[in-house]
Amino acid sequence: MEFTHKNAILPSHVDPERFLEIFTRIKEQPDQQSKRVEKVLELMSSFRDDLSTREKIQIFTRLRLALGTYRWAVRLGVTREGLHVIHQMARELADATSDAERWEYSAIGLLLEVLPYLGQRPRIRRCADAGCREWFFAAKREDQEFCSGNCRQHHYDSDPESRAAKRRYMRQYRVQEKKRDERRKKDVGFKDSMVNKKRI
DSSP 51: S
User: Are residues 102 and 191 both part of a single domain?
Assistant: no
Question: What's the whole-number mean pLDDT along residues 159-171?
Answer: 80
How confident is the model at residue 7, as a pLDDT? 41
User: Are residues 126 and 59 both part of a single domain?
Assistant: yes
User: Are residues 23 and 57 both part of a single domain?
Assistant: yes
30 Cβ contact partners less than 8 Å away, ≥ 6 residues apart: none
pLDDT digits (tens, 9 = 90+) for 95-128: 767 899 999 999 999 888 888 777 677 888 999 9
Q: Answer yes or no: is 34 within a domain.
A: yes
User: Are residues 82 and 111 both part of a single domain?
Assistant: yes
How confident is the model at residue 2, as a pLDDT? 41
pLDDT digits (tens, 9 = 90+) for 127-154: 999 889 999 988 778 888 999 999 988 8
Residue 161 parent element (H or E): helix 160-199
Number of H helices, E strands in the chain: 7, 4
User: What share of the chain has pLDDT > 90, as a percent?
Assistant: 32
User: Are residues 119 and 51 both part of a single domain?
Assistant: yes
Q: Answer yes or no: is 127 within a domain.
A: yes
How confident is the model at residue 127, as a pLDDT? 93
45 beta partners = none
Number of domains in the chain: 2
User: Are residues 172 and 195 both part of a single domain?
Assistant: yes
User: Are residues 196 and 163 both part of a single domain?
Assistant: yes
User: Are residues 180 and 111 both part of a single domain?
Assistant: no
Distance, first Cα to last Cα, the chain = 91
Q: Answer yes or no: is 5 within a domain.
A: no
How confident is the model at residue 10, as a pLDDT? 74
Task: Supply the range of the domain harboring residue 72.
Answer: 17-144
Whether the predicted pLDDT of 159 surpasses 80: no
pLDDT digits (tens, 9 = 90+) for 18-71: 999 999 999 999 999 999 999 999 999 888 888 899 999 999 999 999 999 898
Q: Answer yes or no: is 12 within a domain.
A: no
Q: Answer yes or no: is 3 within a domain.
A: no
User: Are residues 93 and 129 both part of a single domain?
Assistant: yes
Whether the predicted pLDDT of 189 surpasses 90: no
B/e letters for 37-50, b = 16+ CB within 10 Å, e = fewer, are bbebbbbbbbbeee
Q: Answer yes or no: is 8 within a domain.
A: no
User: Are residues 120 and 180 both part of a single domain?
Assistant: no
**How far apart (Å, rounded) are the C-alpha atoms in residues 105 and 97?**
10
Q: What is the mean pLDDT of the chain?
A: 82
User: Are residues 105 and 133 both part of a single domain?
Assistant: yes
User: Are residues 137 and 164 both part of a single domain?
Assistant: no
Q: Answer yes or no: is 154 within a domain.
A: no
108 close to 87: Cβ distance less than 8 angstroms? yes
75 beta partners = 86
Q: Residue 32 carries which side chain, given as an amino acid letter? A: Q
